[in-house]
Amino acid sequence: MPDNPDKPPGPLAGVTVLDLTTMLAGPYATLLLAGLGARVIKIENPNSPDPARGNSLFLGRDGVSATPEHDDDLSLAILDRGRNKEAVTLNLKHPEAHAIFMDLVRRADVVVENFSPGVTGRLGIDYARCREVNPKIVYTSISGFGPDADPTRNKAVDIVIQAMSGLMMASGAEGEPPVRVGIPIGDQAAPLFATIGTLAAVLRARATGQGQQVDVSLLGTMSALVAAEPFEMERRLGHATRSGNVLARLAPSGVFPTADGHIAISAPKDVFAAGLFRAMGRPELIQDERFSSRAARVRNHAVLHEMVGAWTGAMDAGAAAALLTECGVPNGPVRDPADAVRDPGLLARGETARLEHPVYGAVEDVVAGGLPIRMSDAFTGFDRPAVTLGASNGDVYRGLLGYGQDELERLAREGVI
């Protein structure tokens, strides 16, 4: 890949990743590896490419649309998760494909896959086979419920993972229906842990010459995050486990309405509570025995939160925030997601980023996640747009594997690639 002479290499420069993943969870893991500088080669079946290429919405020369309007429109999903990746076609079901895949494995450091259990074995590309040709290979498998799950157990999709992990019953208030979180977090936890595991295994492989399989499940990773809260123990001690927008045990803490929206305030410690009472113009409340200690504030959380809400409700969020900040009280406005991700500070730090069409550029104001990791002496981030299906066949099959042009054309004619 051409290096940009103005940027230092990424931290994973020199690491080659074969990306067999599709949809969201798998491709997000390989997207992070790409943004950290790895060479990520996305491998797709020419007859059935990554379904994300066909998911609404689409971006093309005339902007965003619900359905593709031109041949060169690309889905926002692939424009997001295809950044900084090369894309080749390979029909793994074709008898000739196996040798080609193993040619790639020989030159790679990492394989990432999220096939249903059993598929890699049937295709002859499972970890055991890959390890034979390259003992250092790190083979990362992202599954719904682990490799030994009942094969009739259904696909793990975000909403199912949110439901089964307990996440939906952690939000909202007692007696309310479950709450679906409006971002695909059930698909996002697994790729983060998969990336961590992959990098740890690559470190180990470099030290020992021996790779391994890394196994991460969607349900397991989401549940590990849910388990951060000791729900059963809270219930055992009579505390609400679903407390809506306020946090009794950290009173005064919660989300409160303002004249023009809402504001989040967190003031559990004495010094913060005192600051809050000053901001409210009620310094006498600092010594009020209902609120003068942390335990007292927790006991009287209901009336305390009512008073805070009455105060915030009478002014705009900006005015409340200014007073609170002046008094040293942790606070922040509730922002709409479309506005939040366009925060100029986030864009400047590459934590969010504008998406570009490979031909037409930033033809619409589409903002996606950036790579929210900055390094002092390495480039991190996305600087190459997604490419179309098979666009890198030449670079990879000729450039990396050394196949001749005639061979490439034959393979294409015969449906191998």
Of 322-381, which residues contact a copy of itself (CB under 8 A)?
A: 324-325, 328-343, 345-346, 349, 351-352, 364-378, 380
Burial (0-12, 13-18, 19+ Cβ within 10 Å), 176? exposed
Q: Using CA atoms, how far apart are residues 367 and 108, in angstroms rounded to an integer?
A: 32
Number of residues forming the site for a copy of itself (CB under 8 A): 147
* Position among 121, 230, 281, 361 found at the interface with a copy of itself (CB under 8 A): 230
Site for a copy of itself contains 411 (CB under 8 A): no
Element spanning 43, H or E: strand 39-44
State the nearest-atom distance from the C-beta of 300 to a copy of itself, in Å: 16
Dihedral, CA atoms, 105, 38, 341, 334, nearest 10 degrees?
Answer: 80
Say which of 126, 148, 187, 406 is annotated catalytic.
187
How distant, in Å, are the alpha carbons of 180, 268, 271 from that of 165?
12, 29, 36
Pairing of strands 63-65, 74-75: unpaired
Name which of residues 177 to 216 contact a copy of itself (CB under 8 A): 177-185, 188-189, 192-197, 199-204, 206-207, 210, 212-216
Considering the complex, state which of residue 344 and residue 402 has its C-beta at the smaller distance from a copy of itself: 344
State the nearest-atom distance from the C-beta of 114 to a copy of itself, in Å: 15
Considering the complex, state which of residue 237 and residue 284 has its C-beta at the smaller distance from a copy of itself: 237
Q: Tell me the CA end-to-end span of the chain in Å, nearest whole number.
A: 21
State the nearest-atom distance from the C-beta of 381 to a copy of itself, in Å: 11
In this structure, which long-range contacts are made by residues 341-349, counting pairs with CB atoms below 8 Å and at least 24 apart in sequence?
Answer: 341/367, 342/367, 346/370, 349/374
Considering the complex, state which of residue 278 and residue 392 has its C-beta at the smaller distance from a copy of itself: 278
- Reduce the DSSP state of residue 304 to 3 states and report it: helix
* Position among 16, 241, 292, 388 found at the interface with a copy of itself (CB under 8 A): 241
State the nearest-atom distance from the C-beta of 183 to a copy of itself, in Å: 5
Considering the complex, state which of residue 10 and residue 390 has its C-beta at the smaller distance from a copy of itself: 10
State the nearest-atom distance from the C-beta of 157 to a copy of itself, in Å: 5
State the nearest-atom distance from the C-beta of 87 to a copy of itself, in Å: 20
Q: Using CA atoms, how far apart are residues 20 and 398, in angstroms rounded to an integer?
A: 20
Name which of residues 250 to 269 contact a copy of itself (CB under 8 A): 253-255, 257, 262-266
Site for a copy of itself contains 11 (CB under 8 A): yes
Q: Is 187 a catalytic residue?
A: yes
Q: Which phi and psi (to 5°) does residue 198 adopt?
A: -60, -50
Tokens of 85: 């990746």
State the nearest-atom distance from the C-beta of 376 to a copy of itself, in Å: 4
Name which of residues 290 to 319 contact a copy of itself (CB under 8 A): none
Nearest of 139, 141, 137, 128 to residue 106 by alpha carbon: 137
For residues 45 and 92, is the Cβ–Cβ distance under 8 A? yes
Considering the complex, state which of residue 16 and residue 223 has its C-beta at the smaller distance from a copy of itself: 223
Dihedral class, residue 118 (left if φ above 0, else alpha if ψ from -120 to 50, else beta): left
Considering the complex, state which of residue 115 and residue 193 has its C-beta at the smaller distance from a copy of itself: 193
Site for a copy of itself contains 129 (CB under 8 A): no
Site for a copy of itself contains 73 (CB under 8 A): no
* Position among 23, 119, 133, 163 found at the interface with a copy of itself (CB under 8 A): 163
* Position among 1, 99, 227, 303 found at the interface with a copy of itself (CB under 8 A): 227
Burial 121-134 (b: 16+ CB within 10 A, else e): eebebbbebbbeeb
Active-site amino acid positions: 187
